């Protein structure tokens, strides 16, 4: 009989893939950063040995592709060696972005659930609103974000809310789609049984449709919270923000600080992973509370 093993089933495969990606990354660092070293040696009228070439590509100040150890060193320096209140701290910038992410995620999740309930219980909303919900996501966020920021600034709304609304725009869609599917997941025989009990629409909703939709809700929330973070970062770009992960990416692109850019990207990825894990823990707790087997 097969027994699950954390070492065999998770640790070894994941570690193998990570090590392979790091090896490919280091090879790419050499190839992408080598032209600069060769040009520097040519201008100096010297020849550079291959060993020196490899060593120099790993330690460039502004590389085309920073090496993994450079990114790790930058993350360590901007998280551990800097006070969290410092504007050079990635923790400080991550909190600025996280605040807009959570606000936008909360608004988007609530809006998505309300729209899904309306779509499931109202045929007119199903036929008219659902196509518009789907069509709304065909507009590139990079195109609509500046318009949202400019319009809201023109009417005196600035700061946290415009970025949160961009996160809302992205995060409500998976919640709508997931909850519509979840609220419609009960089988016909289950709905007929509620009908034989003379249950009202509200009783059917709270005792059958809502519990049945929980797996769909939390699955969609995992997607929503991740893209909500993307929306918050994108919302910082057209404003010329001085704080937030988007601001760090923008400043890095202005001054050619690729190591800073990659460090901000990894911080954003780690933040998204933590948010998805928190939603996953909430999912497990809710299902356990509902009596599901672990």
Class of domain 90-289: mainly alpha
Cβ(97)–Cβ(89) under 8 Å? no
The pLDDT of residue 169: 87
Distances 22 to 9, 68, 165, 182, 258 between C-alpha atoms, Å: 21, 7, 37, 40, 18
Q: Kindly report the pTM of this predicted structure.
A: 0.84
Q: How does pLDDT run across 252-293, given as a tens digit for each residue? A: 887 778 888 899 999 999 999 999 999 999 988 888 887 765
The pLDDT of residue 105: 92
Cβ(225)–Cβ(275) under 8 Å? yes
The residue extents of the domains of the chain are: 6-62, 90-289
SS3 state of residue 44? coil
Q: How does pLDDT run across 169-192, given as a tens digit for each residue? A: 888 899 999 999 998 888 888 888
Within its chain, how far is the Cα of 135 from the centroid? Answer: 21
Mean pLDDT over residues 62-67, rounded?
88
């Amino acid at each position: 009989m097969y027994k699950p093993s954390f070492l065999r089933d998770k640790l070894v495969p994941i570690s193998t893939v990570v090590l392979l990606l790091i090896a490919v990354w280091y090879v790419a660092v050499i190839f992408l950063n080598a032209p600069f070293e060769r040009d520097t040696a040519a201008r100096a009228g010297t020849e550079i040995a291959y060993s020196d070439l490899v060593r120099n590509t790993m330690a460039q100040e502004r590389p085309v592709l920073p090496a993994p150890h450079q990114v790790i060193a930058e993350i360590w320096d901007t998280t551990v060696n800097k006070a969290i209140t410092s504007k050079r701290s990635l923790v400080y910038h991550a909190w600025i972005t996280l605040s807009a992410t959570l606000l936008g995620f909360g608004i988007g999740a609530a809006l998505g659930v309300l729209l899904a309930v309306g779509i499931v219980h109202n045929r007119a909303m199903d036929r008219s609103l659902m196509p518009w919900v789907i069509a709304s996501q065909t507009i590139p966020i990079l195109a609509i974000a500046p318009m949202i920021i400019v319009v809201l600034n023109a009417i005196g709304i600035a700061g946290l809310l415009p970025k949160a609304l961009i996160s809302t725009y992205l995060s409500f869609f998976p919640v709508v789609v997931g909850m519509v599917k979840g609220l419609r997941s009960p089988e016909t025989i289950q709905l007929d049984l509620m009908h034989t009990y003379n249950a009202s629409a509200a009783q059917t909703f709270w005792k059958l449709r809502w519990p049945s939709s929980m797996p769909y809700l939390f699955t969609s929330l995992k997607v929503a919270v991740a893209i909500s973070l993307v929306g918050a970062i994108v919302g910082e770009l057209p404003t010329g923000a001085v704080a937030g992960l988007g601001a760090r990416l923008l400043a890095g692109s202005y001054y050619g600080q690729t190591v800073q850019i990659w460090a901000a990207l990894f911080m954003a990825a780690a933040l998204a992973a933590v948010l998805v894990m928190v939603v996953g823990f909430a999912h497990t707790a809710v299902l356990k509370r509902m009596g599901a087997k672990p």
